[in-house]
């Protein structure tokens, strides 16, 4: 039975809005950090390999820490852990502005940002699952996913603009301030954010309940997220140069196609939330969306379509993929034991960090060897594999339990 009992639409909207903003800021920080590291290359005498190494450190710390953050959420509560993550990420940007001087000084600061990044999924979903009425959870997941997608959009332009106008230190400090403000907002919401641990009232919570994670549905969910990250991160980073090699596109047109993919994904997430609140089979919704995204990616991979169709096909690909997000999260929720939202969502979403570490070196190698088509064919294969994984979750899952 769900911990959420409120019928208030306004209360639910308040919780969903704050959590959505926090998730959007986490995605903003991901891309803002990557952009900031590129901006400081000439100032610190670094090279792109060192920037890549710092990015790997960020995702490695985040991936390792995400499962630990899930256990912390179930031990200490989701709201304080979420506030801690925001403070950590904000502090990392403040330290970069004040103390960074080169690669080695950046390592602990990037690691701190990774620690901040690791808390969002386990904390966010624990709050939503416990605080939002079950009839509105699909839309809550939709806003959560939409917030993340929209968080990416302004990150790079904002950092470049602020760095050019005010200097890179000021840009880092302004980004940092946003985290402190949102952390304060989260900390002040004890009256509306329900503690999901109420589902385990009177029971001792062990700090090492790994048995809650090592079940077939949960492991398959983690694999699913790892596959998703490979396609999302790989395409985001390399779509522009790949499309320019495959089609007669100017830089602006290729960048517009990538923007269309992200906007399409955001729109798909919105529609996906509406569907998730009504569909009896979330696995079928997710499988069909993934299949459609895979077919559209294969169309791009052939390189045989007119250049004028690249942008709309990319937009439709993003829409189909975004449509699956809320149903995907409902599937994970259904496989989650009561009171274990933190550790399960933390463990499952660590797959995103695993995929985010794997994809760039592989896709970069393909680009270095002039194989842009293979990037999209590889994404097509991964989409098909994910269709199989999402259908297997229902097969292995037992009766749905709500955390």
Q: Which ranges of 118-215 would DSSP assign to H, the alpha helix?
A: 120-131, 137-152, 155-166, 168-187
Domain boundary among 137, 168, 196: 196
Residue 338 has pLDDT above 70, yes or no: no
Q: Are residues 60 and 24 in the same domain?
A: yes
Average pLDDT over residues 335-340: 64
- Express each pLDDT in 224-239 by its tens digit: 888 888 888 778 767 8
> Would you say 202 and 378 are in contact if contact means Cβ atoms under 8 Å apart?
no
CB atoms within 10 A of CB 400: 12
Q: Are residues 124 and 91 in the same domain?
A: yes
Q: Are residues 250 and 281 in the same domain?
A: yes
For 318, the domain range is 211-394
The number of angstroms, rounded, from the C-alpha of 234 to the middle of its chain's C-alpha atoms is 14
Structural domain contains residue 3: no
pLDDT band at 205 (very low <50, low <70, confident <90, very high): very low
Please count the residues of the chain.
Answer: 403
Supply 87's token pair.
């403070």
Rounded to whole angstroms, how far apart are CA atoms 347 and 231? 20
Q: Are residues 175 and 70 in the same domain?
A: yes
List of E strands, 222-339? none
Please tell me whether residue 335 adopts helix, strand or coil conformation. strand
pLDDT band at 397 (very low <50, low <70, confident <90, very high): low
Q: Are residues 246 and 389 in the same domain?
A: yes
> Would you say 74 and 119 are in contact if contact means Cβ atoms under 8 Å apart?
no
The number of angstroms, rounded, from the C-alpha of 163 to the middle of its chain's C-alpha atoms is 26
Q: Are residues 135 and 279 in the same domain?
A: no
Average pLDDT over residues 94-98: 95
Q: What pLDDT does residue 213 have?
A: 67
Q: Are residues 254 and 386 in the same domain?
A: yes
Q: Are residues 14 and 132 in the same domain?
A: yes
Please tell me whether residue 194 adopts helix, strand or coil conformation. coil
Residue 402 has pLDDT above 50, yes or no: no
Domain boundary among 140, 173, 196: 196
Listed residue (278, 354, 350, 275) closest to 319, CA to CA: 275
Rounded to whole angstroms, how far apart are CA atoms 118 and 123? 9
Q: Are residues 297 and 157 in the same domain?
A: no
Supply 266's token pair.
């955001």
> Would you say 345 and 336 are in contact if contact means Cβ atoms under 8 Å apart?
yes
- Express each pLDDT in 121-172 by its tens digit: 889 988 988 888 888 887 888 888 888 888 877 787 788 889 989 999 999 9
Q: Are residues 281 and 306 in the same domain?
A: yes
Structural domain contains residue 399: no
Of residues 346 and 338, more confidently modeled: 346
Q: What pLDDT does residue 395 have?
A: 66
CATH number of the domain residue 53 falls in: 1.20.1250.20
**Selection from 51-55, 139-143, 310-314 with the highest mean pLDDT:** 310-314
Q: What pLDDT does residue 396 have?
A: 61
Per the structure, how many domains does the chain have?
2
- Express each pLDDT in 7-48 by its tens digit: 678 888 888 999 999 999 999 998 889 889 888 988 999 887
Of residues 203 and 193, more confidently modeled: 193
Average pLDDT over residues 78-92: 95
Average pLDDT over residues 65-76: 85
pLDDT band at 1 (very low <50, low <70, confident <90, very high): very low
The single residue listed with the structure tokens 């990150």 is 155
Give the percent of the chain with pLDDT over 90: 33
- Express each pLDDT in 110-123 by its tens digit: 999 999 999 998 89
Q: Are residues 142 and 250 in the same domain?
A: no
What is the pTM for the complete model shown?
Answer: 0.72
Please tell me whether residue 313 adopts helix, strand or coil conformation. helix
Residue 394 has pLDDT above 80, yes or no: no
Q: Are residues 183 and 219 in the same domain?
A: no
- Express each pLDDT in 266-298 by its tens digit: 899 888 888 887 877 888 888 999 999 999 999
Structural domain contains residue 206: no
């Amino acid at each position: 039975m769900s911990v959420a009992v409120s019928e208030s639409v306004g209360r639910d909207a308040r919780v969903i809005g704050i959590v959505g903003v926090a998730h959007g800021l986490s995605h903003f920080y991901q891309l803002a950090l990557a952009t900031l590291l590129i901006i400081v290359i000439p100032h610190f005498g670094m090279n792109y390999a060192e920037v890549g190494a710092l990015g790997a450190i960020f995702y490695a710390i985040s991936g390792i820490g995400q499962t630990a953050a899930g256990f912390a959420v179930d031990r200490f509560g989701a709201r304080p852990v979420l506030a801690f993550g925001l403070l950590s990420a904000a502090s990392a940007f403040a330290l970069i502005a004040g103390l960074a001087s080169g690669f080695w000084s950046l390592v602990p600061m990037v690691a701190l940002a990774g620690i901040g990044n690791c808390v969002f999924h386990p904390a966010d979903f624990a709050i939503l699952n416990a605080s939002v009425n079950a009839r509105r959870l699909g839309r809550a997941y939709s806003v959560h996913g939409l917030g993340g997608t929209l968080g990416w959009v302004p990150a790079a332009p904002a950092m470049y603009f602020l760095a050019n106008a005010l200097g890179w230190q000021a840009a880092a400090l302004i980004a940092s301030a946003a985290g402190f403000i949102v952390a304060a907002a989260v900390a002040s919401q004890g009256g509306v954010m329900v503690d999901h641990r109420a589902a385990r009232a009177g029971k001792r919570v062990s700090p090492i309940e790994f048995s809650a994670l090592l079940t077939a549905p949960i492991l398959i969910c983690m694999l699913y997220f790892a596959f998703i990250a490979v396609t999302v991160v790989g395409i985001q980073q390399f779509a522009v140069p790949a499309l320019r090699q495959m089609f007669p596109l100017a830089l602006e047109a290729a960048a517009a196609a990538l923007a269309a993919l992200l906007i399409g994904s955001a729109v798909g997430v919105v529609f996906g939330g509406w569907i998730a609140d009504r569909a009896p089979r979330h696995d079928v919704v997710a499988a069909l969306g993934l299949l459609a995204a895979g077919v559209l990616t294969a169309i791009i991979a052939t390189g045989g379509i007119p250049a004028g169709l690249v942008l709309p096909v990319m937009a439709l690909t993003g829409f189909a993929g975004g449509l699956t997000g809320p149903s995907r999260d409902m599937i994970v929720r259904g496989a989650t034991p009561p009171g274990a939202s933190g550790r399960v969502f933390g463990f499952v979403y660590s797959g995103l960090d695993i995929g985010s570490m794997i994809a760039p070196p592989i896709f970069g190698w393909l680009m270095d060897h002039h194989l842009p088509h293979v990037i999209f064919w590889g994404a097509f294969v991964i989409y098909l594999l994910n269709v199989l994984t999402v259908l297997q979750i229902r097969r292995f899952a037992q009766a749905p339990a709500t955390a």
